[in-house]
Amino acid sequence: MKIRVAAISFINDTPLWWGMKDDPNVDLRLMVPSETAGCLLDGSADIAVVPTFMAVTNDLLTAAPIGVLSKGDVRSILLFYPRGTDNIRKIFLDPASRTSQAMTRHLFSNRNIAFETGRKDLKSLAPDEAQLLIGDDALKLYDHPMPKLDIATMWKVKTGHCCVFALWAKKKEKLDFDEADFLESSLSRCLDKFDEIIKWAGSKTGLKEPTLRHYFEKSLFYRFGEEGGPALDFCREVFPSLPELKIDN
C-alpha cells in the first residue's frame, strides 16, 4: 500500500518532497498550503507538509523534526511601507500564507494597527499603509526601492526564535510505517540535488540562479536541530491566542 503524502507546491517547500517524487511507493499530491491540513483531517493523507499556523491551530502531531525554517534574511516574506514604520496604521496581509499573517500580527500586536487580508499595489499604498508579500512575489521585489522589513529577521530579533513556516505533520499517533525515518531519508536524498531543484525553480518562477541559490542554501534550513522545537512551541503558544482577524473594507 502506497504512502499517501500531501505536500505544498510552493518552491520553498520543494526540498521536503523532491526526494520522494519518483518513489513508486509514494502517492504524492501537490497543492496550495490551505489544503494540506484538510487532507490529514479527512484521512486522505498519512502525512502532510502543513503550514505552522494550520498545524498548531488544528493540534496536528509532528511527523518528524523536519520543515521549512529560517533564522532571518529569508527575502520571501517582506513588509513594504512607503514611509517610516512608526507611521504604519494599516497592514494588508498577503492571503497566501496564514503563518506569515500570524507572525506579522504578533510582531505588531503592541501597536494600534488595523489588519486586512488582501493585496494592494505598492504604488497605491497610502503613507500610513503597508503591504505584506510572500513567496515568489516577494523574492522578485527584493530589490524594489520602497523601504521593506524582512519578517523572518524581525521575528528572530524580537522573539529570539527561528521561524518555522511549515512542517511535516500527521493526525494519527501510530502509522503503518516509520514516518520519521522515511522523511529523513527523503530529505537526505534531496539535499544532494540542490542544483536540480534550483534549475526547476528557475523555470517555474523566472527567478535567477543566484537568487534561488541564496534562498535555498542560505535563507532556509530544513532540520529542526536544537532551535526548531522551542520555536514551534512558541508558535503553539502565541498563534492560537491571536484575536480573530477583523476585515476592514
All structural domains of the chain with their residue ranges: 3-72+164-238, 77-159
Long-range pairs of 124-127 with CB within 8 A, sequence gap ≥ 24: 125/80, 125/81, 125/82, 126/82, 126/90, 127/82, 127/83, 127/87
Average pLDDT of span 20-27? 94
pLDDT band at 96 (very low <50, low <70, confident <90, very high): confident
Please determine, for residue 36, whether its predicted confidence score (pLDDT) is greater than 50: yes
**41 alpha carbon, distance to own chain's centre:** 20
CA pair distance 49, 170, nearest whole angstrom: 9
CA pair distance 183, 224, nearest whole angstrom: 13
Tell me how many degrees the CA angle 170-171-176 measures, rounded to the nearest 5. 70
CA pair distance 93, 141, nearest whole angstrom: 16
Output the average pLDDT for the chain: 93
CA pair distance 169, 172, nearest whole angstrom: 9
Summarize pLDDT for 52-79 with one digit per residue, the tens: 999 999 999 999 999 999 999 999 999 9
pLDDT band at 249 (very low <50, low <70, confident <90, very high): very low
pLDDT at 248: 45
CA pair distance 3, 44, nearest whole angstrom: 11
- Which CATH number is 3-72+164-238's, of 3.30.310.10, 3.40.50.1370, 3.40.190.10, 3.20.20.70? 3.40.190.10
Please determine, for residue 83, whether its predicted confidence score (pLDDT) is greater than 50: yes
3-72+164-238 and 77-159 share one fold: yes
Average pLDDT of span 198-219? 94
The string over 113-124, giving b where at least 16 C-beta atoms fall within 10 Å of a residue's C-beta and e elsewhere, is eebeeeeeebee
Answer left, alpha or beta for residue 244, where phi above 0 means left and psi between -120 and 50 means alpha: beta
pLDDT at 194: 87
CA pair distance 74, 62, nearest whole angstrom: 23
Q: pTM of this prediction?
A: 0.93
Summarize pLDDT for 155-208 with one digit per residue, the tens: 999 999 999 999 999 999 999 899 999 999 999 988 888 899 999 999 999 999
Average pLDDT of span 26-38? 93
- One-letter amino acid of 137: D
pLDDT at 246: 56
pLDDT band at 41 (very low <50, low <70, confident <90, very high): very high
pLDDT at 245: 67
- Which CATH number is 77-159's, of 3.10.20.30, 3.90.650.10, 3.40.190.10, 3.90.1150.10? 3.40.190.10
